[in-house]
Every structure is written in C-alpha cells, then in structure tokens.
Structure 1
C-alpha cells in the first residue's frame, strides 16, 4: 500500500492502473514460484513474467547510459531569471574546450549559438572556433574535424565523449511533451564538464539526479542584469502602444487583429512572430524590429517570444493573461508570464540599459502580472522519462501477439501497454505524455499497405516525427509519405503533396500581381507547406534511401520562406494603404471619433 500511496501522491489517479498491474504481476510470480511442482509450462510462464517485469523497469534510468556512467562528471548548474547572463559563462567554457556541444530547445537557438561560435562573438576575447550544426532537419558541417557542435536537445550525442557540454533551458526537463529529451541529455551526455542553464526551480531535482549518477554538482546563481518593473496598464486603448513595445497575444487570429488595429490607431508599423511561422521568418521579423532604420516600431507576438529570439523590447504588453488550450480558456502559468515579461529591457539591447517594463492592455489583468512577477517559482520536482526505441522493441518481443497469433502488436497498442507496465520512481520521475505518438501511430498503421507492414522501429520513427497533429494538411501529407515508403517507392515531395494544393498556393503567391499575397488564408497554407517540407527533411535523415530528394526540398523550403515573408509584407502594405485611406477620410471629416478597441 505504501508503494501505491507514494505513486498517488506524486502522479495522482494516473498511477493507479500502473501500480496495480505491477502488484498483480508480482503476486502472480509468487504464486507460480510457490507451486508444489514446476512444470515446463509454469517455468516458461515464470521466465516470461520475470522478463516482462525486467523490461518494464525504469526505476533507475541513469544506469541506461553506460558511457556517461564510466566517467566522473562535474556538473555546473547556472540558474537565474531571464536576462541574468546565466548562459554566457557556460558558452565561454564551451568555446575554450577542445571538444564539446551546445544543446538547446529550438533550432533557432542552436543556429544562433553555432553562428556566434564560428564568428567569435560569444564574448570579447573569445576567438572564433569551427563548430558544426546538427538539428532534426538540418546538418551543416563547417569542418569534418571540428571539435564543437551546436544541436537541438533531441539530437544530442549520448555516446561520444566530450570535454564540455551545455544544456540550455534546463527547466524544460519537467515538460510533459519534450522533457524526456532533457532527462536523457542530463543523465546520458558523457561530458567531463556539464553546464546546465535555466530556472532555479530545478535545483533540488538536479541535486537528486546528480547523486543518482554519482556526479558532483555545483550551483551558480545569477541576478537579472537590468531591472524589470511593472508599468501602467494601457486602459484598453491601443492608442497607448508606443515604439519599442511587444504586444503579446495567444492566438494567431488575435495577433493579426492586434497588428491591424495598432497600425490603424497609432500609425506605427508592426512586425509579427508566432509559433507556426518558420524559424527563419521569425528571425527575420526580429531583425526588422531590432533595426532602428527599418520603419517597424512594434512587435506583435505569441508566447514564441519567450524563447529563442533576441529582441530590443522596451515594454512587454500582455493583451490577455489567458489562452485556449484546445478545450477551454486557461490562465497563463506564472513561469511563462515571468519568461515573457523578462524579455523586456534585455542587457546590451540599448545604450542606457535602464531595464524594461511589463504591463497589460486591460486594467483587470495588471494584478495578475504583478503577482506573477512577485511570486517565487514553483519547484520542478520530477523529470519526464520515456522508454527508448530499444525498450519499445523489447516490449514488442515480450508481449503476446494479436489474437490471430501471427501479427505483432501495433505501436498504438504498445504505447498503451507502456503506460500500464512501465515502473518508474515517482519521487523523481514521471512518464512523459505519449499524446502525439498515440495520435500519429494509428495514422501510420492505416497508411501502411497490408502487404508491406512497417517494423516497430520504422513505425516508432514515424510516430515521433515533428508533425503538428492539429494541421490536417500535414497529417494527410504524412499519411501519403508513409504509404509511399511502405510501398518501397523513392519519395519526391511533389508526389506526396499532390492533391493538397499547397504548392499551387506557393506559385500563386510568387506572382507579384497575385491578390493571394495579402491573404491570411494563403499564409496559413504556406505555413502548412513549410511544416511539410520540414517533416520531409527530418525523415530524410532517418530514411535517406527513400526520402532521397533532400536538396530539391531544401531549395523549395527557401522558396516557401521567401513567399511567407512576401505574404507578411503584403499584409503590412495592405494595412498601410488602409491607414492612408483612413487619414484621407479624416481630413474630409468622414471618419468618426477614435475610441477604445475591443480586442
């Protein structure tokens, strides 16, 4: 009962089925072992049950990484708020090492660090170093013999020893969707010196994990380099938006509405950044906003602004402190409010470095932001963990086949089995969400011809592909890719995209005279197209013989990024035209009074 009670305290009701299943298996093994006479059948059953328990045992995940356990690692945990310089010292140590890696949460961040290391702009006095770039859909080899590599966390090499490794945004270790990649990196990177950078909320958890690994942990604490203060709310009036502001919203439709209304009400021009935009486009929008000569004065952004973009923001304005989670409106977490607000007044982004302001559009929301900024961080006490591909293959071998006795259990069923059977230490770990895989796995199963079923390994690689499950076009495209792969075809992007019309929209937008350039619907289709090409490139590194048109897709992806930029420019130009028309109407006395905008 103590085991069930501990699991319930840590995980709630979701732990009941798993803990009861294990207690039942232990009871069953004891009954078989206690039999007066073990027959050949009971011996086989006993061996099978013991193998099942062994396969599902994930209570000591550190022991799964032999390369890291073979050395004594020195772990440096750099913790502090946004704009505290906590990553700077870690990157300097990396640049001085003979071999090492940077592992970040976003391709945008990995690309930025890769660029800075090669250019020698990490810190004054730190010379340029050759550094390679490895992300899920992109590999840039500056030098085959380069000692340094910048990568996304999911692409971190857990087998190759290095002198120094840096893992950024370590608080992501508690994220239900992606946190298991941080857990694997912390436990598994075989670096003599490991630097972890992020929030102070992870300190107790990382102490426990370091002890489990037999490593030494030293905590370095940082304070914010410039002050962050709470400003006056905008009284619901977008006329109060000013140069250097970043207005934050949590839906694409609201972002475009805000962009339109700000430009109409203030005459200021807006850049825009949100999660669905390609990283290259977000980076370009940030560059335009940061350039004092671009004519763009305001950034309108989603929570994507909280990570990966260096912006010269003077004031962050929250248009709302709630967002739609797919089922209902929920409050923005304290941690996320702090992260986004902290983007204001970043050190080194202005000559004065006087700090930044955070405020809200509506008076009713200001107290929420005030309390968030004043509140201590909620401790992250458990790290996400997920079975490896090898563990899934072992589950497939140990668990019984389907009723006909010939077909192995499909991946969707295996993932449910994993949720039921995995044994974890609930005090320090929790089972990562398998939601995305559970959605994609049946799509892959249905797309595979009956005569050419995929192996569990192939199926699992498709199921973890970076595909937005809310994008219907992308799900259809993935289905076409799976069918072509299972049929043994060489896969060209134009073939699997046929019938979806996304390339047709790309060609339309590339025509300077096309009205579709300024159409938000065209922009959304181009975003889906870009996701599709990113998916193809990701698969081309996992199945290079089948997804063999990587150079062509890379070139097409650049075209799509240019078309998305053109769409954003056309939308901005359309707003400017309407603004000029409105000004002309006001001169003739045809417009009404300006007032507060209900957003």
Structure 2
C-alpha cells in the first residue's frame, strides 16, 4: 500500500499483558446485575440516556461518554469513573471509549452487537472489548459479555475471528487536483466538479476515494453562495460535520455568506450567530445546544489558522470554546438532574389513561 506513494512505516506489534475472557453467561437484566467497574456499551446517545435513567432509578449514577462530547468533557467523565474516591463506579458509553481513553474497566457489557443495523465488525468489537482489564489497571483480567443471551455466542465468534488485513486505503483529492480538473471544464460549480471527479477518477485496487460524500453534503449547503474555488474547498474540508443537523448547517452557511461578503468574521458576529448565552446546563436540550455550539467554535479556530485576516479573534473564540467545554463538563457531572423523572413520567401516563377511561365510561 505504501510503496506506490514512496512511504515507509515501522510496524510495532504488542501483545496483551492481561487475559480477556468471554463470560459464560449473558447478563440478562443488566439493571439488577450491574457491578462496580462495569461499562455498558451501546451505539446511540438516545440509548445511553435511556440506560442512564434506568440505572439512576436504582441509585446508580454512572459516568457517561459519547462521541459528540468535547474531548475535555470525555476526559473529565473518564477521570470521574477512574477515581476510587468518587462514588461513580459504572460507565455507560458508546464505542467512543475504544480510542484514546485509559479506563479502569473490569467488564464490558455489550447492550447490543449490532451497529447501524449490522453486526459490529471484529476489529471494532476487539477494540471495545479490549478496554476491559487493561494492563496497568487494578483488574487482573478483563471480562466481556452481552445483555441478550442470543448475542453472547455471536460475540464470541466475532472476537475469535482474525482481523482482516487492510487491503485498500482511502485517499481524497487535494485542492490542486480539483483546481487542475476545473481548468478543463467551463465554469463548473464545485459540486459538479466533485460529481465528475467522483465518476471519472480511477484508482488502483489498493485505494478508494473517500470523504467525497461529506464534501458533497457541505458543497450542496453553500452551492449558491459566490466564493472562490479555493475558499469553497477550504470551507468544505473544515472539521465540522453537518449530518443534516439544522443548527450546524445554518451556522456553516452563515460562515460561507460572511466570507462571500468580504467582512471579517469577528467574535461578536460569531457569538451572535450561534445565539451566545452561556449558562449552566439545566436540561438535555441545553446540553445538546452547547454540543452544537462547540464544533462551530472549533471550526472558527481551524479556519483562523488559514485565514487569520478574515477570522481575527482566535483568542476570544478559544476562550469561548473553553467556557463551553467547562459548561458541558458541569452538565455531565449533574446528568442525573437533566434526565426526566421516570417515575413521575410513568405516573403522569397512568393518570392520563385513568382520566381517559373515566371520560369514556361517562
């Protein structure tokens, strides 16, 4: 893979220093059988909060980690879980725990072994399961299990498979290639350039084109805004991920429009654009809003490195980013107060049903 592009790599192989075993039985009812140093893994934020809510009903306040949390908030939740003096000793997380976090997990519990409707691939399952009983923690071995009995044998099969070697790697067109491609066409839009590049470009079996769908999504959002090809390409390769998120799409479009106007993107303009009103997190809606604001500020900082004259307030925005991160951390530390009261909600539903029954009887 590396020879055609003149690169070399040194491969270092490590062996796991502590055993990792698959439990003989699935957990069944995880809410009554959860133990200290357990980590329940699921693959959606919605499910994370649902599980957290159920644990809290049983007096367990877990640490929570998922992908859209800022890095600082993830590290703070990891530190909370790892702290032997903190009463928090259970973790609920997505596969975000698979990379870059050192955690004192004894047992990994897969809530499900499907992700996006497909079985979790073995490299991902190994990466997640391998968080249990890592060398250097207080646990002499790691244990991995599932909630559903039917998933346990499947998980064991997945983990036993050898990791398939990488046969192809993704490559993406750089600006120079896109620009050269544009010279052969008559005033094409960036979006049409991407479409044609994707359809015409051929690569060897060792490579495949990647990032094109993300580029197309971002290019579509700003397709009607007059920008130079260079600026448009830079904006579309910025780290923000839209994923049809209305807030992020609108913020991205506003940034592009500001660029088009030639006016600098000041901190005052940015904060007004995102509805800057930093305050303590009192609900999941507040938390979600801050999680949306954070990547917009990070995108500003990324762009400020490339266009310092157009984005002159890097220090102010960086301070704002830190403030948002701290507010999210505080919100996650008090996540039990953000989740709806399950008992109260159930009581309201029962009362509503009784009232409807009474009206029907009348």
Give the TM-score normalised by structure 1: 0.54
Go from structure 1 to structure 2 and tell me whether the alpha carbon gap of 1:216 and 1:331 turns closer, same or farther (over 3 Å shift).
Answer: closer
Task: Measure how far apart 1:304 and its partner are.
Answer: 0.5
The answer to whether the Cα contact below 8 Å between 1:246 and 1:299 also exists between their aligned partners in 2 is yes
Matches within 5 A, 1:465-544: 465-470=238-243, 471-496=245-270, 498=272, 500-501=274-275, 503-504=276-277, 506-507=278-279, 509=280, 517-544=281-308
Q: Relative contact order (alpha carbons < 8 A, sep ≥ 6): 1 or 2 greater?
A: 2
1:261 to 39, 47, 54: 54
Pick aligned residue for 2:128 from 330, 335, 340: 340
Give the secondary-structure state (helix, strand or coil) at the position aligned to 1:357: strand
Quote the Cα distance in structure 2 between the aligned partners of 1:394 and 1:460: 13
Tell me how far apart the structure 1 counterparts of residues 328 and 197 of structure 2 sit (CA, whole Å).
Answer: 41
Q: Determine if the alignment matches structure 1 residue 392 to structure 2 residue 178.
A: yes
Helix, strand or coil for the counterpart of 2:143? strand
**1:417 and 2:210 aligned:** no
For residues 240 and 297 of structure 1, what CA distance do their matches in structure 2 show? 14
Q: Give the superposition deviation at 1:218.
A: 6.0
Aligned to 2:347: none
- Mapping 1:338-487, distance limit 5 Å: 338-350=126-138, 353-397=139-183, 399-401=184-186, 408-426=187-205, 428-446=206-224, 448=225, 453-470=226-243, 471-487=245-261
The residue number in structure 1 matching 2:112 is 320
Query: 1:103-122 to 2 correspondence within 5 Å?
Result: none
> What's the offset of the Cα at 1:496?
4.0
Alpha carbons of structure 1 residues 249 and 486: separation in structure 2 relative to 1, 3 Å: same
CA contact (8 A) 1:323 1:330 kept: yes
The alpha-carbon distance between structure 1 residues 491 and 423, as it changes in their structure 2 partners (threshold 3 A), is same
Q: Which protein is bigger by CA-based radius of gyration?
A: 1
The correspondence of residues 264-279 of structure 1 with structure 2, limited to 5 A, is 264-265=57-58, 267-279=59-71
Paired residue total: 342
Mapped contact 2:112–2:146 kept (Cα < 8 A): yes
Partner deviation per Cα, 1:410-465 (whole Å, 9 max, x = no partner): 11111112112223212x1112240110010122232x2xxxx3221111100111
CA–CA separation in structure 2 for the residues paired with 1:409 and 1:259: 50
Change (3 A) 1:545 1:473: same
Mapped contact 1:243–1:268 kept (Cα < 8 A): no
Structure 2: runs of 5+ lacking an equivalent: 345-362
In the other structure, the counterpart of 2:352 is: none
Supply the distance in 1 between the matched residues of 2:7 and 2:273 (Cα, whole angstroms).
Answer: 55
**Structure 1 pair 461/499, CA: closer, same or farther in 2 (3 Å)?**
closer
Separation (CA, whole Å) in 2 of partners of 1:422 and 1:301: 40
Superposed displacement of residue 367, structure 1: 1.5
Cα distance change on mapping 1:557 and 1:215 into 2, 3 Å: closer
Contact 2:283 2:338 in 1 (8 A): no
Query: Deviation of residue 260 (structure 1)?
Result: 1.5
Q: Partners in 2 of 1:371 and 1:277 — Cα distance? A: 32
